[in-house]
Every structure is written in structure tokens, then in C-alpha cells.
A and B are shown apart, each in its own frame.
Chain A
């Protein structure tokens, strides 16, 4: 079974500070991709960052980095230097490479950046 778990329903962070959003996953596939999406109040899902299961280095995209610990099956998102515009829902997702082609999403974490 494929499952994504996000245990933090809500998080607060001070502007300009860093924050880590947790994500753990469960899959029997050996090859898979991990994704993080941002969903502001407008509703659109915005792709942030990708990590392949065989990538040896943690992915980084600007202020976003993914702390990938394969043995623990965790893929935490780190946002550095938080900005007010980072306030949104954040979803972790996984796509197994060989078991179908659907993306599995977690329940999300609501991040609020405090000025």
C-alpha cells in the first residue's frame, strides 16, 4: 500500500526564520518520486520541489530544500528565510514509478508566517 503521512496539521513560524514540514511515506516500490506542493488560499496547487528515490543528494530549489532520509522513509521540506507569502497549505506527495502512475498526497500542513 502507498501512503503519505503529514503529522503537523498546523505550523507557525516567525518571518525570516526557517521551518521544517514533516512528511513520511510508505511504499513497496524501490523507485519513486517525492514532491512537495504549496496551495495558497486561492486554491491552485504549486509545485515546489522534487526528489527521486535514487538521488544521492538532497534536492534544493531556492529557499526550499528537501531533507530526504530514505531509510526512515521521510522527506521533510525545509523553508529557509520564511516570508509572509509562504503562508499556505503544503502537501507532500509520492509517485511510485512502477505501481500505477497516480500521485499519493498527504493531508497537508497549514503554515502561517508571523510578521
Chain B
């Protein structure tokens, strides 16, 4: 596709369950970011991939959160033992490394609700 694709668009789960959120970036974009956006807030950085490796995972709130990008394209954000506080919109973005502006191109987000 032409843009960043995220699935599912909506996910409702129960406290304690495991969830996976998927991101398919723009073809050729080597940089991939995950952000979390709570209601009324700006996006909060979680993790950044350059190629297959996590170049910066300093934003992951705790060890229940993990993300992978095994082939340098699609990424999966994994959340174990979900808590109600994990409810938010999870945004994925990709960027073309080396471009001067290097702006982020965002997907439409995955809205996670933990009951």
C-alpha cells in the first residue's frame, strides 16, 4: 500500500490478556517508530527501529512491552498481561532515513481498550 498500515484498528481485550499490534510501513522506509497516544495528549515515544534492530527502546514503559521487526519491514508491538492503563491509541510511523526533513508518516493507529 501507499501509506503506513496498522492492524487491528480497534482491539478490546480483558485485563491480563496478551495482545499484538501490527504495523506495515511504507515500502523502502528503514526507520520505524511506535508511539502511544492517550486521550488529550500528544504522542509518547515507545521504540524506534532502524532496519531490523531496535535502535532506541527507551520509551517502553516496562518489560510487558516488546516489539520486533524481524525482516526490516513489518513490525509487531506485543503487550503481555495487559492492564487498564495500557488503553490508548498505538501509532506506528515510518521515515525515510537520509532525507533532510525525515518527517514521520503515520498510520491511523490501533485503538486498544483494556477492560
Contacts and interface: CB of A to CB of B under 8 A. Distances in A.
Interface string B25-52: 0000001010100001111110010100
Interface of B: 31, 33, 35, 40-45, 48, 50, 55-56, 58-59, 89, 91, 93, 100-109, 111
Contacts of B48: 100-102
Interface stretch (A14-22, A45-53, A63-71, A74-82): A45-53
Given A52-B100, A102-B45, A108-B42, A42 B108 contact: yes
A107 B104 contact: no
Contacts of A35: 103-104
Nearest to B46: A102
Nearest to A55: B100
Interface string A21-62: 000000000000101010000111111001010000000000
A101 B108 contact: no
Contacts of B89: 43
Interface residues of A, number: 24
Given A43-B89, A101-B55, A33 B107 contact: no
Given A101-B48, A105-B43, A45 B102 contact: no
19 contacts: A33-B102, A37-B104, A37-B106, A43-B111, A44-B108, A45-B43, A47-B103, A47-B104, A52-B101, A91-B42, A100-B48, A102-B48, A102-B59, A103-B43, A103-B45, A105-B35, A105-B42, A107-B41, A108-B40
